[in-house]
A = this chain, B = another copy of it.
């Protein structure tokens, strides 16, 4: 089984970290194809970055379909372009926020999210509502550090994240922590050990859930709004995105 894990930003070190997290948990028969688009923002820290990252994501999905990929993970906590990607893909497509929240709701009656910037908390809040997680999500917390600071080995980011998680356990009544950034994919094991509760990285959960769905033959429904896009011309710089009839 081939699973393509798409880091929606264009920073290779994050792609590398996400790839490692994915490979570490994949079944032996699963081939992980990690990538990032060659176009778009170096990090995603708002609605604008997110909206533009979708171009590259969809291009990677399109390439994936041509290459016979069985399922996809979109590895940014805002789950950019999720439904558009599902239109394009035959197999399942999961976002890491979606996967992490679903998993959290299966092992705890309440979770808190710890994300990077305060300004992206609204994005997480909208996802919580869209995914039906309102009753499960106790609080969305931000450490107010830029995404790329997670890549700096000299940064205090890990300490700050640990401290914020501890606050969540004390103040929010949370039984689990959801890490709110693809760039935190390497932290869950250690944090879980230190905190004594499940700390959930969406990348690894999404890979396992895609494996599960693919092995069950549960592909994206092609009835209704997730059917393949309607064939039509695209103009200008985006002409190559015109979808051609399939099947």
Q: Which residues of A are interface residues toward B (Cβ below 8 A)?
A: 10, 25, 27, 37-43, 45-52, 54-56, 58, 81, 83-84, 86-88, 92, 94, 98, 102-103, 105-110, 118-123, 125-126, 129-136, 146, 169, 173-176, 189, 192, 196-198, 200, 204-205, 208-209, 211-213, 215-227, 229-230, 232-239, 241-243
Within the oligomer, what is the number of copies of this chain?
Answer: 6
Q: Would you call A230 and B46 a contact (CB within 8 A)?
A: yes
Partner of A221 from B52, B175, B230 at Cβ < 8 Å? B175
A-B contact pairs, 22 of them (CB 8 A): A39-B237, A48-B84, A49-B230, A52-B58, A52-B84, A52-B241, A55-B238, A56-B238, A103-B216, A108-B223, A109-B225, A110-B224, A118-B173, A122-B224, A129-B135, A131-B132, A132-B134, A174-B223, A204-B216, A205-B212, A208-B215, A237-B237
Partner of A216 from B108, B120, B205 at Cβ < 8 Å? B205
Distance (Å) between the CB of A87 and the closest chain B CB? 4
